[in-house]
Amino acid sequence: MHIDVNSAFLSWQAVYDLQRGADVDLREIPAVVGGSQEERRGIVLAKSIPAKAFGIQTGEIIWQAKQKCPGLVVVPPNYELYMKASNALYNLIKEYSPKVQRFSIDEMFLDYTGMEPFFGEAFEAAHKIKDRIKKELGFTVNIGIGGNKLTAKIAGDLKKPDMVHTLYDYEIPSKMWPLPVEDLFMVGRRTKKKLYDINVKTIGDLANTDIKFLYSKFKSFGNLLWKYANGIEDSPVAGSGITNIKGIGNSTTIRFDVDDKKTAFKVLLSLTESVAMRLRAAKACCSVVSVEIRTSQLNCYSHQRKLMTPTCITSEIYATVAELFEECWRGERIRHLGVRVSDLSGDDFVQLSLFDDRNRQKREALDFAIDSIRCKYGKNSIMRAVLSDGEFSPVSGGVGEDDYVMMGSIL
């Protein structure tokens, strides 16, 4: 099964507001979740069905959306709320199978193999799950059922909202092949254009194209596209709850143009803290760190470095981030900064070197302790002093154990 929340961010905000006495359901009026235009993050992140009727698209600039619908209601994003709602959904779904895998914050896969004696046939159980989510959590989901993750996901997208669909092998020609080729997983804008150029416009066209011809056009990717078009996919549902990830990153568009290192370092430190916390939550270490810069003229460039030893420690990652920024920044006014880590490995074993800090284990233990405090009391319950008092003078790009201040909410 593939479980997908309908208009996730907007639905979660609507339920939150209704629980606190709101008179209007955001899902029933033209409404969007979007960033602040004043903070230069003014794009649509999620939209209601009435907003969709005005032609408003996800990723569209807010002022353009308001031109289409002058009465559009815009609410700011609340990522802490989204994570709580996602976790509540995950905990509910786990009751129906020992193998549940998060695909994104609002999408999950459930392996229902062998669970029929407990909850009934898959179609019946899917309706029970869907209705229970609506009753207990207040939002709706689509559930797709298939023989593998690919067909389950396509099934869930057939018609929305609040529905259950199946896509078994014998249903592929009638339900899947008539769909436009861009509806197939892994077919993006560029691949769609290349497929259209060879007159492949539906998934059925792709499924019935000679695989040797596809290989001549797309190499090994052509073989993958042919398999997906024929519903062939065999990756298991990971029971860990977290899908295999290649990298973790975070970026931000800053409210004002940054033209000094002091402010840039603060932004980079905040981004690094977020990335490192997510890295530790995934029980992983990184071996590659990269920094992205976008200037006020919208020019982009980045820099990356391979680490000698894999790490999940905030101070070690930030030291590399600061060095990379020093090396690649050309002095322009900065509009956007990003930090990303990749080449991930497990955190159960790390080969140390002679050059590692002997306090490495203490720093790692400190980071995990801080993570637990933030998870329990909120992300602002403990923060670095340099981010709370406005003063920051990095020494060799590093941060130390005594750089934290406890906020009043937990004193």
Task: Please report, in range form, the residues annotated as the binding site for Mg(2+).
Answer: 4, 106
Q: Is 121 a catalytic residue?
A: no
Q: Token pair of 22, please?
A: 């709101």
* Residue 358 bridge partners (DSSP): none
Side-chain-facing half-sphere of 303: CA atoms under 13 Å: 13
Q: How far apart, in Å, are the Cα atoms of 374 and each of 17, 46, 241, 280, 382?
A: 24, 27, 21, 13, 7
Beta strands in 19-172 (DSSP E): 31-34, 44-47, 73-75, 100-104, 107-110, 141-146, 164-167
Q: How far apart, in Å, are the Cα atoms of 302 and each of 3, 186, 265?
A: 36, 26, 16
Q: Using the structure block, give the residue that is written with the tokens 């159960």.
A: 348
Q: Token pair of 381, please?
A: 């319950």
Residue type, 200: V
d(C-alpha 287, C-alpha 307), whole Å = 5
Residues 6+ apart with CB under 8 A from 5: 11, 12, 89, 106, 107, 139, 140, 141
d(C-alpha 150, C-alpha 194), whole Å = 22
Question: What per-residue string of b and e applies to 23-50 under the rule 16 or more CB within 10 Å gives b?
Answer: eeebbeebbbbbbeeeeebbbbbbbbbb
User: Which among 38, 80, 95, 107 is annotated as catalytic?
Assistant: 107
* DSSP string computed for 18-51: HHTT-SS-GGGSSEEEE--TTTT--BEEEE-HHH
d(C-alpha 7, C-alpha 17), whole Å = 15
Which residues fall in the annotated binding site? 4, 106
Closest CA to 12 of 59, 50, 45: 45
Q: Which residues are catalytic?
A: 107
